[in-house]
Every structure is written in structure tokens, then in C-alpha cells.
Structure 1
Amino acid sequence: MTYLLSLLDKAPIEAGVTATEALAAAVKLAIAAEELGYHRFWVAEHHSMTNLASSAPEVLISYLLARTRSIRIGSGGVMLQHYSAYKVAEIFNVLSSLAPGRVDLGVGKAPGGFPYSTRALQVAVDPALKPGFAEQLSELNAYLSFDARDDQAVATPIPPVKPERFLLGASVDSALLAAEKGWRLVFAGHLNGDPENLRKTFEAYAQATGGDVPILALAAFAAESAEQARTRVGDLRIVKVFLPNGQTVNVGNEEQAAEYARQAGVADYRTEEKIPSVLHGTARQVRDALDDLHARYGVQEFVLDTPALTPGERLASIELLAKERLSLAA
């Protein structure tokens, strides 16, 4: 079975580890991914989280492009609500000029952080003038395609190859929006793994695009034995916070849940502790699961989210998957 494998990394900061060491581990992982034949290496955007070093993906992307030669590097993704579409276009045009044909621009709708960081990022934004997400995508299209109106600025420099554009989402609405704006959909199965939602979203995207299939993002971890993988994944936890207004958010622990609620200005909330949805087992077992998804939905590319384990475990996992010959043709 033929499909591409790519990676998403958050540069997790373990206890007793510095941000410098965490970022060095992410760089090492990207270099290894290129050597192993992975197609893309994406970095996430998270704000005001002491356990993650990926608050500025565009900076990390620039460094990763300089340290690699052929693998595509990108964002998974830029949290577009915080930024000017014009500035995002400028940044990724610079990146695409530095490394033509290797840059991916993935964008998401979520805030990527707690309420205080959202406020800090948008402190100079007039809410009455703030465009909606769909409008921002249209603006980005214009700036990246150099089709801006006569009364608009041009997002220079003009790269020889435009960055590829991806919309990260996990709903039918996201599928329809991606199709309407001409962005490739990446279904965020690592955040919402509900099979029925996946099926409906894939069908909506196919109908809206004339048969295109989304990229599927999943959390995955391979180990030498199924028991080892099960034990390590079983140690992982997320806490789902339910706020009175109906909003839900996933955080790392109960302390973060309390802090999120405090920053949101609510005292009446509840939490549920869960084991995150991670595809795990031996490399063969992970391959079999990916083969099944490829056969069932026609997925041509998987983006594998590396769980927040040790750098050694993350590296060993991608090496084991590569040895299983999971169609890693770049």
C-alpha cells in the first residue's frame, strides 16, 4: 500500500529539561526524519505553556530549513486568529524564498493557548475591525497569490515557489471552508478521533472538491513490543475542561485546568481525566492500522503527531516506523 508519512512535533519540555534542550531534540528529530524518508516535518504553535517550546513556529521553521536539505518543513499550524494575514504572508514568502519548494503553511482556528495569552496576542486588535477566519483565509490567498487589490499592499518578497497551504480542522464546516478557499484539508484526528465525524468530514470534503481526500493527522507511537508501547501511552494523560458556556478545552493536568478556568474568569467548571487517543503498538501493528485507514478512506498521507515522551523514545518510534517501510517516499 502506498502513502506518505509526515511528522508533527511540539518540542515538549520534560521535567528537568531546558527549552534549549527541548528545541535541540526537535531539530535532531527533523534531521532524522529527513534521513529516514519522511515527507514533511511540521511544528505546532502553543502559547504560555511551560511544558512546550513551540510558541513561534515560523522561527523554528527557519532554523529547521537551514539544518535540513530536502524534507518539507512547515507549521501545523499558525493560529491565524492572532495575526494579520498580510504579516503571515510576508513571513512565509520569506521562508519560501529561503528554501523554495520546501515550505508548508498550515493554519488553524484555535487559540493555541490560555485566555491570558490570547488577550496578550490580540491586545492591539480592535474587535470591531477583526476579520473572521474565513475572511482571513481569503486575504491570505490574495497576498500569497499576489492578487491584492490596487488599494492593498503586496506581501513581498515574491518567492520562486509559493508555500503549500493547509487548513487544519476536524469538522464538516472545516472541510467545506477548505474546499471553498482552495486549501488542502488536514483532518486533526489527533485532537478529534471520532470515527463518525471523520467519515462525515471526509465525505463532505470529497463532495466539495470533486473527490479529493484529506491528509489525516494522528498521534502515533511505536515501540519494540506492544506491552512497552501500551505502558508508555498508558502513562500519558490529558484533562478535558468543561466551562459553563459550553466551551471545552484539553490541557495537560488538573493544575492547568484550574489555571485555564481562572484566566477565563469562571469558578463553576468540571474536568475529566482521559488517556489521549494514540495509535500505539509495535511498528507492524501501527503499520497495519495505517494500512486499514488507507484502504478504508483512501488516505494518501498521514501526519503523525509525536507524543510528549522522551526524545529518545520519539526518535526510536520514527525509526521503527521507517524500518517497516511505510511508503516513506518523499
Structure 2
Amino acid sequence: MTVDGAVDPPVDAALVVAVIACLEPRGGLVQVVVDLLHQVEAVVVVDDGSVGAADVFAALEAAGASVVHQPNAGIAAALNAGIDQARRGCAPELVLTLDQDSRPAHDYVERAVGTWREATRRGVAVAFVAAESYSGHRAPTDGVVHGLARAFDPMQSGWLVPVSTFDAVGALEEDLVIDGVDSEFTIRCRTLGLDPVVGPGCDLEHGQGERLPAVLLGHRVALAGQPLSWNRHPPVRVYYMARNGTLLTRRHLLAQPRWVLRRLGQETRAHLLRLAFSPDRALLARAIAAGWRDGLAGRTGRIAPALGRRLRG
């Protein structure tokens, strides 16, 4: 059912709309929408400037999704557009945000709504409910609030967000474009006293990108008996990671030092692994250095065209 054609849910049910941001989606997204419509009232799919997926978007509409097309502007702009469309269409109580390569478990929404209700009953000011695991890997947590695990720095795919959170905190920051958008929203929530909580049993299958083993001189590298691996990203994407991570550190270190330093440590480790094991480490080093420079200068928005061309080799 589309947003515009949504019907009122039972009085005791929470009205949930899913928003999916996508770029050049594949046909598998159609089945995700079909499955989601068994869990939510409506699905909004936002096309972030695709050029070759008209057949997929037609199939998504035929499956019951409401599709919004807009020029490429990044993940935050796409999600914001979908959230606005959802709120205009049927005034949901909660919004489920998803990436195109995510597939929530069949009971994901039921469990997430239950967590939200229970957390609220216990007196938690809930920012959003986040996934407990991504593709079988448990998400990092940050202590406990009223007996519920607090999410540390969860990726936005799988967030169940009360619309009251957007009213209090504002929209996702579009000037970041990509990477760090979820972290920036999370830290804004925490600064305002809203807690991101983990939904027990909320399992999400999520594409992890190209994850490669750490290999040195033909041998797999391990640390404390555990084989190391690293996520491979193009240099332009790494630029945004470095820049936006630096922006977050500058903005929030004094207000949330423990959270910021923990995130900074994780990001630094990821950069070191890339520089150690990637064959294009020279371009990555330039991307990281440029990102740090622009982050320290407070620059946001899209990467400068000339820099983008250099980082693409």
C-alpha cells in the first residue's frame, strides 16, 4: 500500500512507515518491499539520482511502494525526502530507515516497536531503536539505560525513529553528503538527552561492502588470534569518512568526549588497516589527508571537483 493510500491502523497499533534510500537499485529490492509491507503500513523508496533503473522503480511501485525521484544529493537528503513524504502521506508515529542492501528479519518491526514501548514505559527518552545485529554480527553497545542496551554508533539502516525525535533534533545533516550522517544524528540525540536503544532480536541482513582479509607477504595477518580484515572503499568515499569524522570530532569533543574518542579510535584503526593492506594506499593516503584538512577547516558539502578527479586517479 502506498503512503497516499494508507489506512488507519488499529487504535492499539503503532503506525510505521519504512523509508528506503537507493541509487541504481537491483531487482532484489522489490522482494524486500513486498516483505516489508507485511510489517509496516507503507514503504517510501527514494531514488537518489539513478539513471538506469527505471524497470526496478516501476516494479517497486507495482509492489506497493511510493517512489520519490530526486537528483543525486546523498544519503541524508534522500532519507529526509522520504521522511517528509511519509509524514505528509499518513502521519506515522514511527519511521523505519533502511538502505537498499538491507533486509530486516520478518519480525524486525514488531520487536523494534515492542522495544520502543518498553523503553518508554521504563522512562527512557528514546532517540530511536537500532538493530541488535547486522548480518549476524552484534552491534557495539554503550552501557545500559533502565535495563536496556544503549547503542553506541549504529548505522542508520534499521533505525526505528519516533517522529517526535525528528521534531526535537531536526533532520539528518545533508551537507555531510555520505558517511558520518548516522553518527552526527546519534550524537545530536545524545546531546539532547535522547538515548538510542538496541532492539533485542532485531536482526538485519546488510551488505557490508567489499570486506577483504589482511594479507602480508602472502600470509593472513591475525591479532590476538583473530584474523584481521578490512573494508575496501574508493578513495572519494574514504575522503568523506575522514572529513566528516574530523568534523564530528571538532564539533562534539568537549560535549561528548568519551563517545567521540571511542569513535575516533575505531575510525583511526579502519584507516590504518586500509593504508597497510590496500593496493591503492597512496591514493587513500591522499584522500585521508585531504579529508582531515577539509574537516579541520570546517568544509562541508560535496567534494571539490578537482580533488575528486585526482582521487579517482
Do Structure 1 and Structure 2 share a fold, with TM-score over 0.5? no
Superposition TM-score, scaled by structure 1 size: 0.25
Superposition TM-score, scaled by structure 2 size: 0.26
Q: Relative contact order (C-alpha < 8 Å, sep 6+): which is higher?
A: 1
Q: Identify, as 1 or 2, the structure richer in strand.
A: 2
